Amino acid sequence: MAKQYGPTDIKASAIELIGNTPMVALDRIWPGPGRILAKCEFMNPGGSIKDRAALGMISGALANEQLKPNGPIVEMTGGNTGAGLAVIAAVMGHPLTLTTSAGYSPQRAVMMRALGAKLLLAPQVEGVPGKVSWQDACEALRLAESVCKEQGAFYVDQCNNTDNTRAHVETTGPEIWRQTGGRVGAFVAHVGSAGAYTGVSRYLKSQSPDVKCFVGEPAGAEAVKGLPVTKPVHMLQGSGYGNVPPLFSYDTMDGTVSVTDEEAVKYKDLLARTEGLYVGYTSAANVAAAVKLLESGQVPTDAWVVTLLNDTGLKYPE
């Protein structure tokens, strides 16, 4: 008699681990009124929300034949998109070259190299280690463009690639809506490339025009708000470069919330010690922004405010 087995749930590769991350209530940090709910994006295989964009952009490039099977890929990254691309490149067999500023955390560099990516460091010209400015990022961008030309590679171009936004319209936004049963009062997140913020906000507003969406910005680098940049160098790596990202759209925004370095450090510690969640500084700044939003009266006192825990704290030095 043939042996009978039960149903299985086995993923074919790490790529199938991307997305469908859980949502957690931060009731210890914010006991109410209202509620702060956080999407656990650090649980993606590359350790951050950027895995979603990486998959969306590579899938899009293959579909429109900008990228050939096993063809070379080049990108400039702060580290998280690079790690996501490295996961996908390892599984799909694409040679991957990444450029990054020497000022980004060395932990991210270790991960990208371990996943098989060739990593080139651009020198800092304005910031200091752990605090990367827009000028520093531009040095890494110029290096990526040069390498891409030499190799004839597909340049991902996350800051201008609309498949970045599409990935969040098609995955992150619908997951948030489903997990909350449609009870989203507000959404708040800092912007880097702006793919996640714009994609999630666009989807949530398509489901209900009553959802209020807010951009978090580092204090002193509030370009989206329209203020002059007085602090181009801050702790929120991959966010708040002091310019309005090309993928950002003002029709998705109802307001902004400013967060200081000190507030980011405070909430990074609170998340670890009261919620058991060890996340990065921008994730902590997202939670700080959600708290400030509920305290400000800009949303109803009983609102469910959703934000993103972008990446794991293991990607940062202490």
| CA angle (187, 59, 180) in 5-degree steps | 25
| DSSP assignment letter at 290 | H
| Per-residue pLDDT, 144 | 93
Could you give the CA distance from residue 27 to residue 31 in angstroms, rounded to a whole number?
Answer: 5
50-155 matches 14-44+171-315 in CATH topology: yes
pLDDT higher than 80, residue 68: yes
Comparing C-alpha atoms, which of 285, 257, 252, 272 is closest to residue 313? 272
Cβ contact 44:18 at 8 Å:
yes
* Residue 311 CB burial class (10 angstroms; 0-12, 13-18, ≥19): buried
Least confident of 63-67, 160-164, 234-238: 234-238
| Per-residue pLDDT, 316 | 87
Could you give the CA distance from residue 160 to residue 47 in angstroms, rounded to a whole number?
Answer: 23
- Kind of pairing between the strands at 304-309 and 186-190: parallel
| Per-residue pLDDT, 318 | 72
Cβ contact 142:55 at 8 Å:
no
The residue extents of the domains of the chain are 14-44+171-315, 50-155
Q: How would you label 220-258 residue by residue, b for 16+ Cβ within 10 Å and e otherwise?
A: bbbbbeeeebebbbbbbbbbbbbebbebbeeebbbebbb
pLDDT band for position 241 (50/70/90)?
confident
The mean per-residue pLDDT over the stretch 83-111 comes to: 94
pTM above 0.85, yes or no: yes
CATH architecture of the domain 14-44+171-315 equals 3-Layer(aba) Sandwich (3.40)
pLDDT band for position 242 (50/70/90)?
confident
pLDDT digit string (tens) for 144-153? Answer: 999 999 999 9
Cβ contact 312:280 at 8 Å:
yes
pLDDT band for position 136 (50/70/90)?
confident
pLDDT digit string (tens) for 193-229? Answer: 999 999 999 999 999 999 999 999 999 999 999 999 8
| Ordered DSSP codes for 152-182 | TPEE--TTT-HHHHHHIIIIIHHHHHHHTTT
| Per-residue pLDDT, 133 | 81
Tell me the residue type at 68: K
| Per-residue pLDDT, 134 | 76
pLDDT higher than 80, residue 1: no
| DSSP assignment letter at 225 | T
Kindly report the CATH number that applies to the domain delimited by 50-155.
3.40.50.1100
pLDDT higher than 80, residue 130: no
pLDDT higher than 80, residue 260: yes
